[in-house]
Amino acid sequence: MNQYIGHTNQVYGVEEMRLSGGKADGMRMLYVRNGKGLEFWVSVDRCADISRASLNGDNFAYFSPCGYVSPKYYDKNGGFLKSFTAGFFTTCGLNNVGAPCVDNGEELPTHGNISNVPCENIGHWIADDGIHIKAIVRDAAIFADQRILEREYIVSLEKNEIQLIDKIHNIGQTDAPIEVLYHCNMGYPLLSENAEISIPSTEVEPVTEFAKENIANWRVVEKPQRGIDEMCYYHTMTGKPEISIYNPDINKGLAISYDTTELPYFLQWKLMGERDYVMGLEPGNCRTDGRDVMREKGILEILKPGETKTHHITFTFIEK
């Protein structure tokens, strides 16, 4: 027990609040501080995704032009981008990742719908190993697939690190396809033309012709350019890679580490546009072609009734 403070929120902790005004009106948020310079916001009404993240005052996340958008405005029929806050990370899935498609007679929206589902239960507490936040997000309906996402953050009080533990449960009576992509979005001032990108891949595959034309510069971060198209690359990695971005302008960076046996795919999303200036570093269990394509290729992950799949990701915030 610290004898110098009256309440832990004087130095670290979790504060609950609601946003007011515009399309964000009423959204529940958790404001988290670890007392070492790390601050971030958990969007309770958007899958407990992390919308903002900063280290000692410097922002790390890209915040899209639409800003905060309540899930009540979500339109699965082509409206994903109008609700895509991006933020530090957006969870894509659990029924689809990438392109909208029809799979086994089911119409599936762009990047699924889980990022627009409110938590039905969320709690937080402080333990010896740090701040814990635990949320339950339900993705289920009668006569349909029934999944529950059990999400936990463990935030160190000794170092600037967030551990993410996701457990995806199939609580239904039939096999359930599972697709998930952790759409991590780096933004200014962490991201600028002086930022250094490290992805320890053995193979880099461009997704589009424009990306192929620029593949030699996949790790180069340019200045914002008007009208430039996005570039996406699949990176092949094994083991427990560490993907990082570091910017000497602010002497700060971020490392993302995970296990490829849990998340075998990795997408780099590079968009160097004016205002649309973002570097996506995105581990997942599938590619972004749509669930029907994953099924056709025989690489669609299936959970049997009662089965659970667990993902671990560690975000380490660096300051030199």
pLDDT at 133: 98
- What span, in angstroms and rounded, lies between the C-alpha atoms of 245 and 208? 23
**Residue located via tokens 């600028």:** 192
Q: The whole model's pTM is what?
A: 0.97
Q: Do 193 and 223 touch, CB atoms closer than 8 A?
A: yes
What topology is assigned to 8-319 in CATH? Answer: Beta-galactosidase; Chain A, domain 5 (2.70.98)
**Residue 244 amino acid letter:** S
- What span, in angstroms and rounded, lies between the C-alpha atoms of 271 and 169? 34
**Residue located via tokens 């880099």:** 204
pLDDT at 193: 98
pLDDT at 293: 97
pLDDT at 129: 94
Q: Who's near 68: CB < 8 A, 6+ residues apart?
A: 19, 22, 23, 24, 27, 43, 51, 85
Judged by DSSP in three states, 285 sits in: coil
Q: Are strands 203-206 and 89-94 parallel, antiparallel or unpaired?
A: unpaired
pLDDT at 244: 98
- pLDDT tens, N- to C-terminus, the chain (320 residues): 789 999 999 999 999 999 999 999 999 999 999 999 999 999 999 999 999 999 999 999 999 999 999 999 999 888 899 999 999 999 999 999 999 999 999 999 999 999 999 999 999 999 999 999 999 999 999 999 999 999 999 999 999 999 999 999 999 999 999 999 999 999 999 999 999 999 999 999 999 999 999 999 999 999 999 999 999 999 999 999 999 999 999 999 999 999 999 999 999 999 999 999 999 999 999 999 999 999 999 999 999 999 999 999 999 999 99
